[in-house]
Amino acid sequence: MKLNKKEIEFVAENIVRFDEVTEIRINDVEVRILGRASGGTFTAALYRTNDMCEIYKYHLAEREEARKRIEEIARPAKDIPWALMCKV
């Protein structure tokens, strides 16, 4: 996906703020830099659209995808021995 001049300037100005860049996401909705700085995890984003409905739909889909991944790896509390003792 191509970046316009404003997006290139955004990446150039923000990438130097990170100690380590772990990912740069570019899609129809946003240009996002993810990484680490000052001992924490940080992100910086420039939205490619002003349509709040599109932005909301995009982030809602991201959340649902994350929820599915968590459900795949998480065990129900009833299967954990301490939870059985506590009758969770």
Model pLDDT, residue 79: 62
In tens, the pLDDT along 38-81 reads: 889 999 999 999 999 999 999 999 999 999 988 878 766 566 66
Q: How is 13-59 classified by DSSP, letter by letter?
A: HHHTT-SEEEEEEE-SSEEEEEEEETTEEEEEEEES---HHHHHHHH
Above pLDDT 70, what percent of the chain?
84
Q: Are strands 40-47 and 30-37 parallel, antiparallel or unpaired?
A: antiparallel
Model pLDDT, residue 72: 78
Burial class (CB within 10 angstroms; exposed 0-12, middle 13-18, buried 19+) of 68: exposed
Domain ranges of the chain: 5-86
Find the radius of gyration of the CA atoms of the chain. 19
